[in-house]
């Protein structure tokens, strides 16, 4: 399955993406917005791709822009009985932020979740110190449903973790109104 947008393409992650991903995942600029505090090497990343990228419960795509790998996005903890999943995205290099890619990719994953997989609910967690991501998720139809107080520690500060979700009927309603 490949999902094509105007700015980005979502394609299956391949083992050889591991080297590039490992390089990005150790960078400080990502640490602020993700939970990745342990060092990651190519071996660990390749193992993660082998075991977790495409499974019964996880579907993680590579994000490519102009043929270059710039991040990952996908669904995890897919529950086929409740028809729910958790969404995650990271564009690994800040030069690609604020260009509309994250919004497009989020809408592509929602399309995949609701129109292809027939899920009923997609949820996510976003740190309070990430207003850019929060804005993108709201723009794509996610609604705030809760808050874990001080659920996240980063360099001397505790931040709340915001829980958001979108349901299938909300997705279809938004789509028919746009
Ligand atoms: C979060 C992320 C996926 C968003 O993708 P992106 O391509 O940068 O987002 P877009 O360009 O589509 O949209 C950014 C929007 O946020 C807005 N924005 C930027 N900085 C902002 C800020 N500090 N506060 C509020 N809104 C902000 C932009 O104006 C734009 O909104 P608009 O289109 O309504 O003008 C991407 O920045 C990223 O991967 N960041 C690092 C990892 C991360 O944070 N992952 C998410 C973890 S929950």
Summarised one tens digit per residue, pLDDT across range 9-51 is 999 999 999 999 999 999 888 888 998 889 999 999 999 999 9
- Residues having CB within 6 Å of any atom of ligand 1: 30, 33-34, 71, 89-91, 97-103, 126, 130-133, 135-136, 139
List all residues 6 or more positions away from 101 whose beta carbon is below 8 Å from its beta carbon: 7, 8, 63, 65, 70, 91
Q: Contact, 52 vs 40, CB < 8 A?
A: no
CATH architecture of 3-177: 3-Layer(aba) Sandwich (3.40)
List Cα–Cα distances, 157 to 73, 127, 133, 152, 154, in angstroms: 27, 12, 19, 8, 5
Model pLDDT for residues 130-159, shown as the tens digit of each residue:
999 999 999 999 999 999 999 999 999 999
Atom 28 of ligand 1, residue of closest alpha carbon = 98
Model pLDDT for residues 54-93, shown as the tens digit of each residue:
999 999 999 999 999 999 999 999 999 999 999 999 999 8
What does the pLDDT read at residue 35?
86
Q: Which two tokens stand for residue 109?
A: 């994953």
Atom 14 of ligand 1, residue of closest alpha carbon = 98
Q: Contact, 85 vs 78, CB < 8 A?
A: yes
Question: Rounded to the nearest whole angstrom, what is the distance from the C-alpha of residue 98 to the centroid of ligand 1?
Answer: 6
Which H or E element spans position 134? Answer: helix 131-139
Q: In testing the pocket of ligand 1, which one of 5, 98, 108, 142 has its CB within 8 Å of the most ligand atoms?
A: 98
List Cα–Cα distances, 21 to 9, 14, 18, 112, in angstroms: 17, 11, 5, 23
How many distinct helices (H) and strands (E) make up the chain?
Answer: 6, 8
What does the pLDDT read at residue 38?
92
Spatial distance between the Cα atoms of 41 and 13, rounded to a whole number of angstroms: 17
Atom 29 of ligand 1, residue of closest alpha carbon = 98
What does the pLDDT read at residue 124?
98
């Amino acid at each position: 399955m490949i999902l094509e947008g105007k700015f980005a393409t979502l394609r299956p992650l391949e083992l050889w993406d591991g080297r590039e991903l490992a390089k990005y995942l150790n960078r400080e600029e990502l640490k602020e917005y993700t939970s990745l505090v342990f060092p990651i090497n190519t071996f660990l990343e390749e193992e993660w791709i082998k075991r977790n990228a495409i499974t019964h419960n996880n579907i993680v795509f590579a994000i490519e822009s102009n043929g270059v790998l710039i991040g990952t996005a996908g669904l995890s903890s897919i529950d086929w009985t409740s028809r729910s999943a958790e969404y995650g995205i990271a564009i690994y290099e800040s030069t690609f932020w604020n260009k509309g890619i994250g919004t497009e990719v989020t809408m592509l994953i929602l399309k995949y979740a609701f129109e292809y997989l027939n899920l009923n609910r997609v949820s996510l967690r976003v740190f309070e110190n990430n207003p850019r991501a929060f804005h993108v998720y709201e723009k794509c139809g996610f609604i705030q449903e809760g808050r874990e107080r001080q659920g996240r520690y980063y360099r001397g500060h505790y931040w709340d973790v915001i829980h958001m979700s979108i349901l299938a009927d909300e997705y279809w309603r938004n789509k028919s109104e746009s």
